[in-house]
Amino acid sequence: MSLAGKVAVVTGAARGLGRAITLKLATDGAAVSAWDLNSEGAEETAAIVRERGGQALACGGNSAKRDDIAAALAATHAGLGKVSILVNNAALSPFCKFEELTEELWDDLMAINLKGPFLCCKAIIPDMLEGGWGRIINISSSSAQTGSARQTHYSASKAGVIGFTKSLAMEYATRGITVNNVPPGFVNTEGLQESPVDVDAFAPLTPMKRSGRPESIAAAVAFLASEDADYITGHTLSVNGGRYLN
């Protein structure tokens, strides 16, 4: 599944799923722009790509801020060219009891998890329309499919990502752009390790009785970004070890 000649943007690329996705797309031949608020981590990701012989650059900034997106896109255009693949991965996944969930916490999370993909799509879709080819892959969450206690705001935001994906897919289905989403489930990243979830205790309760690997999510994203997936759009490709069956 060669992505040679394609330019990809991956948000939230400093670590975890974003880093794994960046490395996989680069391995498949894409030039990748790694975006993250953590500019140092984004540069580390890009450096790994370059050390492996790939082409990558890093852009620091908030992918939920229009001005930051514009600056990162300008740098990407200057360094790599027009964008044909967008992976909206940047997100927060906090835990909070509903009684303690404030309007400010709700708004802040929606801005990052839902408004961010909207703004990135608004900025980058013109590149895809100009080139007559595009792939948008949004990272949602199995928590949007199953629900998750103490994550009402997070689950709601990721359910919004799924609805956003389906609607955008319908709008651009005849214009060379596919739009799909991948909801990870219980994947062992730094974020999971930092959460209140007891990974070792929860793993035996899952069908595969283990946590997932970031590389499995990256492989699904790379497939959806490829020519092999040219007749797949509006799809939710669950990668969750059987946590949610659809």
Q: Is 154 a catalytic residue?
A: yes
Closest CA to 33 of 123, 129, 114: 123
The contacts of residue 160 (CB under 8 Å, 6+ apart) are 110, 113, 114
Among residues 231, 35, 13, 33, the alpha carbon closest in space to that of 135 is found at: 231
- In Å, how far are 5, 41, 72, 90 from 126, measured between CA atoms? 18, 28, 15, 21
- For residue 72, the number of C-alpha atoms closer than 13 Å in the C-beta half-sphere is 32
Q: Which of 154, 172, 231, 244 is catalytic?
A: 154
Strand ranges inside 46-149, DSSP E: 56-60, 85-88, 134-139
Query: What does the angle CA 174 – CA 179 – CA 184 come to, to the nearest 5 degrees?
Result: 160
Q: Which residues belong to the active site? A: 154
